[in-house]
Chain A
């Protein structure tokens, strides 16, 4: 049973517009959330994160929003660029017995059209 879900397998956006990628989770013990970006033939690379004590974190064109009551996370990319075309994974972790286990969603493939 997946504890982190990305219900949109793909998203297509015009260059310059906003991309919004969504993620839902079920485990209320998650307290750290991350977004990873993955290009073909490469490993995922860290993009941005947020802890559960915050509801927003911004880094340049990327902003992550956390709605704890809805158990929902979103990544906003503004403005979107063709180089943003990649698969985006949402991930979450919770401190459990001093170990740090990450749970990943199934990914959303973003296509930014020029």
Chain B
């Protein structure tokens, strides 16, 4: 079954304790992305990756890191979490659009609800 998986689904942690949220897809997608969802703000992109070893900042990258060492995995790292990073996080993947007339939707994971106290 084609899917994007995220772990953990729920996480409660304390300020400053490093954590990693894993994301994995089995569709051989080049493009992967992390979003956070906050009330009234919708989905905001944190980081994205076009392919292995190629990553770039999204709209809200502060306080986050990512890596893309393998095509299927795109972990999100919070080196020193703070309460303002309490949010619902989604990982997504898609084929990479390289020509103007190619269109691909993103596939989303089930989400990770993070609470930082």
Kindly state the separation between the CA atoms of A68 and B74 in the bound complex, as whole angstroms: 35
In chain B between 72 and 117, which residues have their CB closer than 8 angstroms to a CB of chain A?
Answer: 90, 92, 94, 96-98, 100-101, 103-111
> B104 — which chain A residues lie within 8 A by C-beta?
100
A45 CA / B98 CA spacing, docked (Å): 23
Residue contact A46 to B105, C-beta cutoff 8 Å:
yes
Asked whether A43 and B94 contact (CB < 8 A) given A49-B103, A104-B42, A106-B42, the answer is: no
Complex CA gap A43/B58 in Å reads 19
B92: shortest Cβ distance to chain A, in Å? 8
Chain A contact residue count (CB 8 A cutoff): 30
Interface size class of B (residues with CB under 8 A): 20 to 34
> Judging by beta carbons under 8 Å apart, are B40 and A95 in contact?
no
Q: State whether A99 touches B42 (Cβ < 8 A).
A: no
Choose among A2, A31, A102 the residue that contacts B106 (Cβ–Cβ < 8 A): A102
B13 at the interface (CB under 8 A from A): no
Enumerate chain B interface residues (CB-CB to A < 8 A). 4, 31, 33, 35, 40-45, 48, 50, 56, 58, 90, 92, 94, 96-98, 100-101, 103-111
Complex A-B, nearest 4 residue pairs according to Cβ-Cβ distance, in ascending order? A43-B108, A106-B42, A104-B43, A100-B97
